[in-house]
Chain A
Amino acid sequence: MRAVDAIMECLKAEGVEHVFGIPGGANLPTYDALYDAGIRHVQCRHEQGAGHAAEGYAKASGRVGVALATSGPGATNLVTCIADAVMDSVPTVFLTGQVRTELIGTDGFQEADISGITMPVVKHSILIQDPRDIPKAIHEAFHIARTGRPGPVLVDVPQDLSRADIPYEPVAKVHLPGYQPTTEGNAKQIRLAAKALANARRPVVYGGGGVVNADASKEFRELCVSDPFPVTCTLMGLGAFPADHDQWIGMLGMHGTRAANYAMDEADLIVAVGARFDDRVTGKLSEFAPRAKFIHIDIDPAEISKNVPAHIPIVGDAKNILPKLTAEYRALGADSGRLEGWLARVRGWQEKHPLGYEDSSDSEIKPQYMVQAMFEASDGQAIVTSDVGQHQMWAAQYYGFTRPRQWINSGGLGTMGFGLPSALGAKVAQPDQQVVCLAGDGSLIMTVQELATCVEEQIPVKVFLMNNGYLGMVRQWQELFWDRRYSAVKMGHSPDWVKLADAFGAKGMRVTDKGELVGAFRDALAEDGPVLVDVRVTPEENCYPMIPAGQAARDMVG
């Protein structure tokens, strides 16, 4: 069997139904095998689009996303996606073609050392040197991508090896002596954590993207409601706990709520689940949660005590650990009355500092209102993807996510241009759900070519463009911290987005009047095909509240 046909068998054995990619010289054999392999291939317009689509697919479904690219520039165009996937722990497999083995190292046409280039940003990578290793490598790649702390795995296949004839036998089991993630969680540590929680008087539960990755939202919620603990999540954790729940105190971190940040600041015990104490969460590390002890549940032992020292580390899969912790905690029969003073204090912050903005008195569309209008038009049920910047933070603040995998964005790497391709991937994964990309005008233009993919492949994503004519978040920082010296942030001559959508064969709409916004969104959502709605919002609106970079929760402004 040709090695590439074996690759298709392996993909199917791994349950792959969709792949995203672009063919080229070095992966021609792969595309020949794909021709009648019975796997749907979504032909993207740029490899970065394919990579982010694979990520969106993975984030929306929990399955491994797959992107294909050819050697050289095709592969290097995936680098941003791979870095993005490692930062946000997205289970992905990137399958690249490489030049023929005899050309490797000779600066051959379209040669790039992609396994070398991506070494710092992959969970693992495999450069094929013997075609007989290919089936094993593909299965190892999927196993590594989806188990433990998920992440991107690159498999680089030289063109000649991909055409080789190999004996193919289905691979039943992968054996990796150096890769055995801990999943169970130490029972003694779990008991100690339950005891600490039962003795805490000012506890906060802090969930991260790991809760979503572990499919442990239900288990997380069970722990949280064991007593009325205040619950906050990171940007990546949104949806792990429903935002309409009365224990929800909002997102924490740089643009989180005051209640969440103040609660962390005064807490005596913080239960961190699948979160990594990123600098956007902690602000100034030395002043982060100074009164707290930390229970840290994470599947990646290297996250324990990396940024913030853990007092009770528990390494393992949150889905296994949380039910045990909940049971241990409930068995202790702690008196929830001990929390009353604390809960009143947290509630006080929530009442005194709710998220808010000054709405316009005329037809002007405030960006925060735009997110609320999106929520209203979609009944709060859409899968929302976003680019990176102000609109992303406003979405996080104002679209109350109630279920996991409903919110798809680039958190760790902060990749502008992530929104549209990831929406495309999410829609392929979840065709029965509404998928809305809340885009920024600075970001959208970076990957707007994927509108062509949406039209051609009939992937009806809705792009709601928050158009303020600026690289808004950079402008905000220049306004606040750089003396209003607006350097290279005005978008100036942007395209006519309605015409652009039209040119791609999608439907374009424009809204400039607040009163028409919800109706326009409803119309867009009711359309069968892809739609781009250009929404003109207040150009210079700032995203608040905010912890200025490197400062502490107490220094929140706005």
Chain B
Amino acid sequence: MGEPGTKEVLNLEDLEASGGIRTGRKHVLSLLVENKPGVLARIAGLFARRGFNIDSLAVGPTDDDSVSRITLTVDGAAHPIDQVTKQLHKLVNVIKIRDLEPSDTVARELALFKISCQDGDARAQVMQFTEIFRGKTVDVSKRSVTVEITGVDDKIAAFEEMVRPFGLIEMVRTGEIAVARGRGAT
């Protein structure tokens, strides 16, 4: 680049762009929001109008009445995650956002599977799978079994694959919730 203009040399070519980068992996965002009407609508609306997709979303109370926890998962391949978090931060009712590191996070999801079981054999097999996946049988009828499975989404997907051949009547999932490992608050 020839002679620099100052003794404090800095080659502009060495500067790297920050932000706007797609990570290509799933991100779990943990949000603390004010427990007020319309907050969820603001978040959902933000995602819709900025063209971000929510893969899953779970909302619930926290130990503090005035604050709710929202856990949502977003595909970091489809969107620059920093844009998602920065736009969320602009919402006045959003108090805190944490993009949880997968290796440093305990994540769980609960799923209910209603599986068709035409005979005792099928039922026995389904219940055996449930045992293996450390699930619980929560309802049984003449031709169906309902099972509860908790875990990370891979485990739930694996269970789904196992029981689908029996005839999956329906599946309901809560969406992932997560906390950071260790002593510190999420």
Interfacial residues, chain A to chain B (CB-CB below 8 A): 115-116, 119-120, 123-124, 127, 129, 144, 176-179, 192, 195-196, 198-201, 268-269, 293-294, 300-302, 304-306, 309-313, 332-339
Contact = CB atoms under 8 A, between A and B. Distances in A.
Contacts of B37: 127, 129
B92 A334 contact: no
Contact of A302 (B4, B16, B83, B94): B83
Contacts, number: 105
B45 A177 contact: no
Contacts of B7: 332
A338 B12 contact: no
Contacts of B92: 123-124, 144, 176, 178-179
A120 B49 contact: yes
B20 to A, nearest CB: 4
B2 A306 contact: no
Given A301-B86, A302-B86, A309 B19 contact: yes
Nearest to A194: B8
Interface string B74-91: 000000101100110111
A332 B91 contact: no
Closest 4 CB pairs of A and B: A305-B19, A309-B17, A305-B20, A302-B86
Contact of A178 (B8, B49, B95): B95
Nearest to A313: B18
- Chain B interface mostly helix, strand, loop or mixed? loop
Contacts of A311: 15-18
B1 interface: yes
B9 interface: yes
A333 B45 CA distance: 50
B99 to A, nearest CB: 14
B5 A201 contact: yes
Interface in B135-181: none
B156 to A, nearest CB: 32
Q: Which of B89, B90, B96 has the most CB of A within 10 A?
A: B90
Nearest to A312: B15
A195 to B, nearest CB: 5
Given A144-B92, A301-B86, A302-B86, A199 B5 contact: yes
Interface in B1-44: 1-12, 15-20, 33-34, 37-38, 41-42
Given A120-B49, A179-B92, A305-B20, 7 more contacts: A123-B92, A144-B92, A198-B8, A199-B5, A199-B9, A200-B5, A302-B90
Contact of B6 (A129, A178, A199): A199
B16 to A, nearest CB: 7
